[in-house]
């Protein structure tokens, strides 16, 4: 009685020999994972490394110099905080200095972290379609090309609805809700000098929430004016103005160091009326 499973080969069937020629020395190899003559691994031929430049030094990254400029701004604010006489001569109150020091310090840390990522990754591409019809799936692609092999890497992709709600008579609040998420890598490994691609599909929602608000625009304009004196406040103005919409977020964490990217996708529905979100 033949007990071989359907579609399987008998155990006694010999597997064909794998023959390959070493691209480095030209030696012909049979059933070997490394070249018998020079020791080159076969997987380097089947999955060759990309021709990338050397990893940049920290001072060669744009984030490093941007971090230095924000550090100088934070240091100047600290000097004014610690020297009341100088602060009185400048006429700048604590209400402006304290936020400037806090926001400039935050911007400096963010810039230095961005410099670290510039040293780790040669390519960090996040591709999201510009628009998608309600009820149809759309694909998101994240491509990472590190200079060296990296371990303990986690990657999460999620679709978020950012919207505005009114609070009180004239206030406005920014809120968010999660429409779907997937962890595509958990404490995993990224191959060095090779493209590591992660893809996820999300279902396009119906644009039912409020993605713009007049009060939010007015508040952002006020912050822009304050930003003439406290430059770091301009970040808050931009974030408030651009909050509303459907965004796909990619969170990449290497060890304890995270980085988040987000891109907007416009959801639309064409019926008796045209809905956009």
46-82 in b/e burial notation, b at 16+ Cβ within 10 A? eeeeeeeeeeeeeeebebbebbeebbebbeebeebee
Residue with tokens 């998608």: 132
Q: Report the candidate in 137, 72, 74 with the shortest Cα–Cα distance to residue 267.
A: 137
Q: Is 255 exposed, middle or buried (0-12, 13-18, 19+ CB in 10 A)?
A: exposed
- What pLDDT is recorded for position 1? 39
Band of residue 8 on the pLDDT scale cut at 50, 70, 90:
very low
Question: What is the Cα 123 distance to its own chain's centre?
Answer: 11
Q: Report the candidate in 135, 124, 163, 142 with the shortest Cα–Cα distance to residue 247.
A: 163
Which of the pair, 221 or 135, is modelled with greater confidence? Answer: 135
Q: Report the candidate in 188, 182, 191 with the shortest Cα–Cα distance to residue 251.
A: 182
Which of the pair, 90 or 5, is modelled with greater confidence? Answer: 90
- What pLDDT is recorded for position 27? 85
pTM tops 0.95: no
Region 218-246 average pLDDT: 77
């Amino acid at each position: 009685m033949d007990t071989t499973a359907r579609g399987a080969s008998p155990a006694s069937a010999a597997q064909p020999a794998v023959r390959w020629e070493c691209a480095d020395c030209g030696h012909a190899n049979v059933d070997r994972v490394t070249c018998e003559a020079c020791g080159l691994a076969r997987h380097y031929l089947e999955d060759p490394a990309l021709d990338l430049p050397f990893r940049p030094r920290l001072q060669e990254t744009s984030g490093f110099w941007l971090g230095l400029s924000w550090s100088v701004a934070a240091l100047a604010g600290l000097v004014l905080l610690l020297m009341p006489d100088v602060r009185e001569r400048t006429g700048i109150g604590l209400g402006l200095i304290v936020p400037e020091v806090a926001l400039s310090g935050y911007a400096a840390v963010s810039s230095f972290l961005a410099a670290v990522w510039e040293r780790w990754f040669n390519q960090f591409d996040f591709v999201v379609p510009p628009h998608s019809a309600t009820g149809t799936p759309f694909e998101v692609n994240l491509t990472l090309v590190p200079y060296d092999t990296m371990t303990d890497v986690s990657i999460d992709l999620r679709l978020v609805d950012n919207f505005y709600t009114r609070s009180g008579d004239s206030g406005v609040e920014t809120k968010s809700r999660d429409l779907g998420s997937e962890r595509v890598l958990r404490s995993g490994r990224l191959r060095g000098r090779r493209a590591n691609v992660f893809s996820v599909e999300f279902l396009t929602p119906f644009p039912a929430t409020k993605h713009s608000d007049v009060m939010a625009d007015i508040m952002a304009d006020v912050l822009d004016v304050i930003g003439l004196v406290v430059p770091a406040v301009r970040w808050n103005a931009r974030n408030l103005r651009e909050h509303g919409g459907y965004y796909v977020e990619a969170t990449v964490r290497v060890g304890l160091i995270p980085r988040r990217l987000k891109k907007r996708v416009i959801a639309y529905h064409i019926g008796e009326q045209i809905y956009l979100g």
